[in-house]
Structures are given as structure tokens and as C-alpha cells.
Amino acid sequence: MRHLLITGAGRGLGRALALAALKRGAHVFAGVRDPSAWPDPPPNLDVIMLDVTVPASIADARRTIGARTSSLDLLINNAGIHQGSPEVRSAPEVSFGSLDGEGLLRMVDTNAAGPMRVTQAFADLLARGDRPIAMHLSSRKGALTEKHDGGNYGYCASKAALNMVGRALAHDLAPLGITSVVVHPGLVRTQMGGPDAPLAPEDAADALLDLAARLEPSDRGRFLRWDGSEHPW
């Protein structure tokens, strides 16, 4: 995979994915909301201003990347927020009795509508790629069959919505030769995953890139774990 676009690449798993792809010889477009996250970008990494909730930002990123490459081989929709993110910290969305829906809507906008917007904008570049993949990083929290308790409404609902978006995209992207999959990256030691999560960002990144390299068109529309095993919906 020669040319990759990774959203949310300023920190955590997104940053680890960018560094892992660079080690494999890829050219990486790192989509970030704050370019200062990469004050001294390494060779073959282009830092691109990209806010997945702002259509104009996505359009600007598409023009910038399109001027630097004619194709993309892998899009990783990694950008996401949760109940502890600054965008939703003041909006109750976790416990029944204090719900107001504001945080849920912000998470759906970023976690589900964002990947939909980005994938649509870059579909033409992906269509010209080598065995192109659109990988949407979801969560086990978005699996309906694994929801056995209450609470955490916003994040769970947003990831369930992303699962449906990824499934629908699989059908619309198939005629373009693009394989769309939804992937649970595992519990990763990031700001979102917490310090006690079992997976180091570097290990999760390598596993996800290995998985992307193994995917075939017959995998489109699947919900997978980072190791390639099937995840329940």
C-alpha cells in the first residue's frame, strides 16, 4: 500500500498507524484538526488539516491531497470522540435520568457521519488505488448483541451507527472496486482506551495494517476484530 489517508492522526492510535505505515514504506497523509500535533513531520508524511465534521474542511483536504497523488490505496477512518472528549464533556449522555442528547448527536456527527463524509469525498482517489480499502474503526461498544447493560448511550449509539454506515458503504463502493470493512481495533492504551488497556498503540497499529494487507473484495461489509476474526454485530 503506497498511499494512505488516516484521519485523527494527531495522537493515539491514529499517530501510531501513521508511524507504522511509514516504517512499511508508505506515503501517509495524516488528517488532523491541529497541525501542530506534527511540528516536525518525518519524510513521506504530509500533515493535512482535516475536521471530519466540517464539509468545507474535507473538501479542502481532498483538493490538497488530490494535488499530491492521483490515488489512495487505504483510507483509515480513525477520528473519533467519546464521553470524555472536550466536545461532549459538558453534555450529559451517559446515565439515564440526565440524558439530553446533545453529546450523542456530537458523537454521531464525528464517529459515524464523519467517516461517511470522508469516504464519499475520497472515493474517486480510492477507486484508482491498488486493491483499495476503506477501513472504519468502530468498537465492540457498537455491537447490539454485546450490549448487556444500560448507560453510555452516546458512544455506543455512535459506533452502532458507524457499523451501519460501513455496511452500506460496502455496497455502494463495490462497483468502484473498493472494499469497505468495519473493524474493532481492540482495547488500546490511548487517551480513549485508558492506561490499563491491554494493547499498545504500536501493536494495534501493526495488527490493523496487517489486516488491511490481507483483505479481499469478498471481505466487504464485514465487522472484524483487529486480528481478522469475525466480530458479532
pLDDT for 117-139, tens place per residue? 999 999 999 999 999 999 999 99
Q: How confident is the model at residue 198 (pLDDT cuts 50, 70, 90)?
A: confident
**Where exactly are the structural domains of the chain?**
3-225
Task: Supply the DSSP symbol for 111.
Answer: I
* Burial degree of 78 (CB within 10 A; 0-12, 13-18, 19+): buried
Percentage of the residues of the chain whose pLDDT score is greater than 70: 97
pLDDT for 141-189, tens place per residue? 999 999 999 999 999 999 999 999 999 999 999 999 999 999 999 888 7
**What is the CATH number assigned to the segment(s) 3-225?**
3.40.50.720
| pTM score of the predicted model | 0.95
